[in-house]
Amino acid sequence: MRQTEAAGSDRQFFLGTILVIICLSVFSVKAEDAYRYYTWTVTNGTIYPLGVPQQGILINGQFPGPTIECVTNENIVVNVINKLDEPFLITWNGIKQRRTSWQDGLLGTNCPIPPNTNWTYKFQAKDQIGTFSYFPSTKLHRAAGGFGGFNIAQRSVISIPYPKPDGEFTLLVGDWYKTDHKVLRRMLDLGNTSLPLPDGLLINGISNGSVFTGEPGKSYKFRVTNVGIETSINFRIQGHALKLIEVEGSHTLQDTYQSLDVHVGQSVAVLVTLNNGPSKDYFIVASTRFTKPILTTTAYLRYAGSTAQASGPLPTGPTYHIHWSMKQARTIRLNLTANAARPNPQGSFHYGTIKISRSIVLVNTQAKINGKLRYAVNGISYLDPATPLKLADWFNISGVFSLNTIKYGQTSGLPTLGTPVIGTTFHDFIEIVFQNTETKIQSWHLDGYSFYVVG
Ligand SMILES: *[C@@H]1O[C@H](CO)[C@@H](O)[C@H](O)[C@H]1NC(C)=O
Ligand SMILES: *[C@@H]1O[C@H](CO)[C@@H](O)[C@H](O)[C@H]1NC(C)=O
Ligand SMILES: *[C@@H]1O[C@H](CO)[C@@H](O)[C@H](O)[C@H]1NC(C)=O
Ligand SMILES: *[C@@H]1O[C@H](CO)[C@@H](O)[C@H](O)[C@H]1NC(C)=O
Ligand SMILES: *[C@@H]1O[C@H](CO)[C@@H](O)[C@H](O)[C@H]1NC(C)=O
Ligand SMILES: *[C@@H]1O[C@H](CO)[C@@H](O)[C@H](O)[C@H]1NC(C)=O
């Protein structure tokens, strides 16, 4: 495998989003749903995640940012004050926002917050229970920080298909560069087709130092998100099995794994029982997938009262094996009769029998256009218009985007620049097929809707 095959790219940074504009009925906020208010000041500060000083993006002085813990149906109000010298935009992952989908924090629907300005995001944590994250959406800011956990618990009237854990931990795992994000950005802009190999992996902003303490015999929920820029990771805990209970807001059939691949942007939740005998520390390991060399970082699972340091060889995980990863992904099946913030939100458990009304094939390519590395989908490289797509759509402003002009499967020739939008119809049951013709892993951010991975 060549070095370039090692790196993946998070398409939400480089590709631009093809927006599927879907008309939904307007829901009103119910008075009884609680509000949670946050004021977040985003600053630039010196951090030392790999032992050397560098400028990071802090939220209220923290790297990573604070974790939002909320309950389904709560209204979240976050006043974000941008003290960086660049516009800043936050994506709230995991919010299937109906009324407020324009607040999702992606170009096209939301404008970045200019320096020394504030903007208040308001949305409702609706219809999904689970493990999510928020992160900066533009300018490779995520390579500098500004991300955090976003956990949505079930309301008391909703049951979950596993016993209540005795505690829970949020683990934000990601690749990390000692290089400033502005320098990384310039490398890509100058036409480099990939970023260099990351300098390391971090767990909650540090390497080889985080400690998670639990009581012997008890069970804990570990929420694991890959907050990195481009590298898939494998996660495992020495001497402990991982019972997978949830992936991005969908409860799963609860299979047990020795290790789990978590790709960029993905979140999983596992139950871990501290039943491995004596009170000691055990290694928690995250290692890179598909890279040469493999980068590894550790943290510690500490049994309360532990008197012994973690010891022995680190548990091994898969390295380059792409097929292993695909095979594992196919073993993850959703429990369609469990998990919903309200029962049966989609109106059917029988997904396999619903007629697919539309199949959308998206083929990604990359090319140098005007000396810049650009990604394209179906032959069009997305240009962010001055007027956000949602506003253009709402106010019927013509000439901002081109509707349904995209040609499916088109990959030959140099991509053209454009602002394509695919229109769909309410109640369509859509299948989206992604075709990656390149030698790198691609991860896509499907925003605003809850998708089921079928193959
Ligand atoms: C962070 O601060 C440094 C030093 O003042 C500055 O050069 C850099 O542009 C700042 N970055 C951001 C994103 O504000
Ligand atoms: C900016 O912050 C102030 C208070 O700090 C608040 O009153 C105002 O509504 C905020 N503006 C926006 C656009 O969010
Ligand atoms: C392109 O990437 C290579 C390998 O990471 C690096 O050595 C080189 O300096 C980069 N070029 C630019 C223009 O940043
Ligand atoms: C953390 O530990 C791993 C595994 O021992 C090692 O490969 C890595 O270099 C360490 N990272 C740092 C920053 O010390
Ligand atoms: C699926 O969810 C239902 C409803 O909560 C639960 O009764 C059932 O045990 C779950 N199945 C599995 C395999 O977890
Ligand atoms: C946009 O056009 C639609 C359909 O013609 C119309 O129903 C709607 O009121 C228009 N919106 C505005 C803000 O003018």
Token pair of 153, please? 């618990």
**Mean pLDDT for the stretch of residues 320-337:** 89
Residue 442's pLDDT is 87
- For ligand 5, what atom is nearest to the CA of residue 160? 5
Residue 261's CATH number: 2.60.40.420
Residue 446 lies in a domain: no
Specify the higher pLDDT residue, 412 or 345. Answer: 412
Best residue among 331, 337, 339 to mutate for probing ligand 5, ranked by most atoms within 8 Å of CB:
337
Q: Are residues 185 and 220 in the same domain?
A: yes
Q: Does residue 18 belong to any structural domain of this protein?
A: yes
**Cα distance between residue 196 and residue 3, in whole Å:** 9
Distance CA 262, CA 273 (A): 21
Lowest mean pLDDT among 33-42, 240-249, 281-290, 381-390: 381-390
What's the domain count of the chain?
4
pLDDT band per the 50, 70, 90 thresholds, residue 28: very low
**13 and 47: one domain?**
no
Question: What residues make up the domain containing 304?
Answer: 167-330
If one residue of 177, 179, 186, 187 were mutated to test the ligand 3 pocket, choosing by the most ligand atoms within 8 A of its CB, it would be 187
Token reading at 432: 């989206």
User: Ligand 1 mean position to 202 CA, how many Å?
Assistant: 22
**pLDDT band at 177, cuts 50/70/90?**
very high
The tokens describing 356, both together, are 């697919």
| One domain, residues 237 and 145 | no
Strand partners, 22: none
pLDDT at res. 336: 76
Question: 132 with 173, same domain?
Answer: no
Per-residue pLDDT at 15 exceeds 80 = no
From the list 238, 242, 230, 249, the residue with the least C-alpha distance to 174 is 230
Other residues' Cβ atoms within 10 Å of the Cβ of residue 368:
12
Q: What is the torsion angle, in degrees rounded to the nearest 10, for the CA atoms of residue 449, residue 107, residue 388 and residue 453?
A: -20
**pTM attached to this predicted model:** 0.90
Higher per-residue confidence, 93 vs 134: 134
**Ordered alpha helix ranges (H), 174-236:** 181-189
With pLDDT > 90 as the criterion, what percentage of the chain qualifies?
62
Q: Is 84 in the pocket of ligand 1 (CB under 6 A)?
A: yes
Residues in the chain: 455
Task: Average the pLDDT over 189-209 and give the result.
Answer: 93
Inside any domain, residue 441 = no
Q: Please name which of 26, 107, 10 lies closest in space to residue 401, comparing C-alpha atoms.
A: 107
Q: Convert the pLDDT of each residue in 34-66 to its tens digit.
A: 999 999 999 999 999 999 999 999 999 999 999
| pLDDT at res. 171 | 98
